[in-house]
Structure 1
Amino acid sequence: MTPNLATLPHRPTANAEDALASARRTLAVEAEAIAALAERLDDHFTQAAQLLLDCQGRVVVSGIGKSGHIARKIAATLASTGTPAFFMHAAEAVHGDLGMITAQDVVIAISYSGSATELLTIVPQVKRMGARLISITGRPESELAQLADIHLNANVTKEACPMNLAPTASTTATLALGDALAVACLEARGFGAEDFARSHPGGALGRRLLTHVRDVMRSGPAVPTVPVTASITDALTEISLKGMGMTVVLDAQEQVVGIFTDGDLRRLLERVGDIRGLTVEAGMSHKPYAIGPDALAVEAAALMDENRKNLLLVRDPSGALIGALHMHDLLAAKVL
């Protein structure tokens, strides 16, 4: 059935200039709110950060409504930057989830009004358990602020919403305050890039900082090798079989004396022409580039890039061959 266009609700269209002006006003209001918050920080912030650093349990971040969404993000940021934390929904807390909290925990309760019923219901029990309480509100005189061990003031002069109703500048300021706490704790702990990577093993940074050459190199039968006395034909067969575009050349003691690559073959053909009677020694490259198995894969990539190579041998500290690494292996492992 074809709809009657005349009965369809009118869809507003955005005027480009008006939309941009509105966006700029919103960003300006929120930027001002954060700037004012930065100027207002005092010893309460320092005390809150120290409380998190001293916490022997977990940091439990709670809120409801828009504050709940902000609380969830703050908990995630804390957890990923070295401060064990989780989010507890305030409404679920009054129906059993309060059992997640122990006396060793620190609770961060977030409510801009400072009067969220669900939070005020659980605060007495949190205090009885012996857990410490940090509140983040926009009203220092509110009940939640007064009940907390430490109160952080996230007050804003106005919301970005033209009606001054929808939580916008206030939620942005609260989120920024949570980020500030997380970063202060991160820096105090000396939490570095490798620590961050361990919290994000599935991300690009985790792969770059946690993947070592030994994790992605080819080893054993997968590494193409031929003796120094092998014919060019035998070398080409090994190159084709192993798919690395090269073969390692070994002496009688199975020590590396060079590599023979597709490029070496082309150069040998240009120089000699008829290669049928030659051994691989006639065209191999001496002193191939190598790296250790414990180096980061990104270090191998940098070495390849610096020397315009697409492969490296992998050798242990004694110089023995233990593997080989091609640029394609790094790409497959999503290190690059």
Structure 2
Amino acid sequence: MKNRTVINIAEVAKRTLSLESTAVSDLKQYINGDFEQAVELIAHCTGRLVVSGIGKSAIIAQKIVATLNSTGTPAIFMHAADAIHGDLGMIQQDDIILCISKSGNSPEIKVLVPLVRNFGNKLIAMVGNIDSFLAREADLILNTTVEQEACPNNLAPTTSTTAQLAMGDALAVCLIEWHGFTAGDFAKFHPGGTLGKKLYLKVGDLSRLHQAPKVSRDSSLKEVIVMISSGMLGVTAVLEADGDLAGIITDGDLRRMLEKGIPGDHVTAENIMSRHPKTIQEDELAINALEMMRQHDITQLLVLKDKRYIGIIHLHDLIREGII
């Protein structure tokens, strides 16, 4: 077993990041007519984008496919090695092929490309060698040439795969803007998990899980306490006789009243309520409610439907749903 080489870990890490960030920045010079035509070709495609590669490029291809599918561009992954053993059958007439390779000369690529060309599908090459077999055979080239790998032996795909990933993101973001893909569209493809909830969960979805605690202006202190306790939210709305919102009373308001030594015999809701409560409409996103709570340093908001009070959304609701 070889003796371990003593290295400066921080310096190696910084050198790696410097090499890779430079490589990504250098890609800007390769955003040319071919790149623009590739975006337009994919944007107008009536089929799917079939993304293929071998080795580490295949892993990058899968990530690009995942990004495209989640942002409205239909895409599938086809492993270059499996393609020549039956997976070519997944290619349909209107599909476009994106083949990813650093060298553009690997044996699997040299077998795959002529077969794709025979199908008549458009072929886009994301390649790090524009003099390669893949580059010569492609209709369009996305150039991902890098000067060197971050690997000290200049062998392990590091800088090159980072460049491929960045070029794939550039392609995906252009398509997002081309199609006018919105946060609402994104939510349709991400209904699960915290991300999905941030994009589609509405204030009304959470407020409906609770009672809508309320008292009138002339409600007694006892009635206020009972309402706050029964609602288990530490708060109650105060309503006018016609149902309009008059104010809010929190358990903090009750504590402050007691600290002042005010006799409770003749205290009504009107005497202790805050007259300008923070409110939010039921059709607002729950994430917006969280932002309001943070902005005003509070833990609940009164929920309105148009101008009518319908319930409460509490910080605990947002925590429970994983919004925070």
* TM-score between both structures, scaled by the size of structure 1: 0.83
| Residue equivalent to 1:132 | 122
Q: CA deviation at 1:237?
A: 1.9
Q: CA deviation at 1:133?
A: 1.1
Q: Does the aligned pair in 2 maintain the 1:211–1:296 contact within 8 Å? A: yes
| Residue equivalent to 1:265 | 254
Match of 1:106 among 96, 102, 107: 96
Match of 1:312 among 278, 297, 301: 301
Matched, 1:323 2:315: no
SS at match of 2:215: strand
Stretches of structure 2 lacking an aligned partner (at least 5 in a row):
none
2:3 and 2:226 map into 1 onto residues whose CA distance is 68
Match of 1:248 among 237, 249, 260: 237
| Residue equivalent to 1:48 | 38
**Code of the aligned partner of 1:106:** I
Q: CA deviation at 1:253?
A: 4.4
Q: Does the aligned pair in 2 maintain the 1:104–1:130 contact within 8 Å? A: no
Matched, 1:288 2:293: no
1:163 and 1:306 map into 2 onto residues whose CA distance is 52
Q: Does the aligned pair in 2 maintain the 1:108–1:133 contact within 8 Å? A: yes
1:156 and 1:308 map into 2 onto residues whose CA distance is 49
Q: Does the aligned pair in 2 maintain the 1:211–1:335 contact within 8 Å? A: no
| Residue equivalent to 1:94 | 84
1:15-46 per-position Cα deviation (integer Å, ceiling 9, x unaligned): 3x2x3443344344434433443324432212
| Residue equivalent to 2:158 | 168
Stretches of structure 1 lacking an aligned partner (at least 5 in a row):
1-8
Report which stretch shifted further, 62-71 or 319-328: 319-328
Q: Does the aligned pair in 1 maintain the 2:30–2:142 contact within 8 Å? A: no
1:87 and 1:279 map into 2 onto residues whose CA distance is 68
Q: Does the aligned pair in 1 maintain the 2:244–2:309 contact within 8 Å? A: yes
Please give the residue correspondences for 1:188-207 in structure 2 after superposition, counting only pairs within 5 Å. Answer: 188-202=178-192, 204-207=194-197
Q: Does the aligned pair in 2 maintain the 1:134–1:149 contact within 8 Å? A: yes
SS at match of 1:236: helix
Q: Aligned pairs, how many?
A: 324
1:205-264 per-position Cα deviation (integer Å, ceiling 9, x unaligned): 543332221122146x62222344433223212211211111223455444333332122
Q: Closer, same or farther in 2 for the Cα pair 1:253/1:11, shift >3 Å? A: farther
SS at match of 1:222: coil
1:261 and 1:27 map into 2 onto residues whose CA distance is 52
| Residue equivalent to 1:74 | 64
**Code of the aligned partner of 1:178:** G
1:251 and 1:33 map into 2 onto residues whose CA distance is 65
1:34 and 1:230 map into 2 onto residues whose CA distance is 66
Matched, 1:208 2:198: yes
- Which of the two has higher C-alpha Rg? 1
| Residue equivalent to 1:299 | 288
Q: Closer, same or farther in 2 for the Cα pair 1:309/1:25, shift >3 Å? A: closer
1:165-219 per-position Cα deviation (integer Å, ceiling 9, x unaligned): 3223322222222222222222333334444444444455543332221122146
1:184 and 1:174 map into 2 onto residues whose CA distance is 15
**Code of the aligned partner of 2:288:** E
Q: CA deviation at 1:11?
A: 6.4
1:58 and 1:70 map into 2 onto residues whose CA distance is 18
Q: Aligned-residue CA RMSD in angstroms?
A: 2.8
1:52 and 1:45 map into 2 onto residues whose CA distance is 11
Q: Closer, same or farther in 2 for the Cα pair 1:288/1:118, shift >3 Å? A: same
2:19 and 2:250 map into 1 onto residues whose CA distance is 62
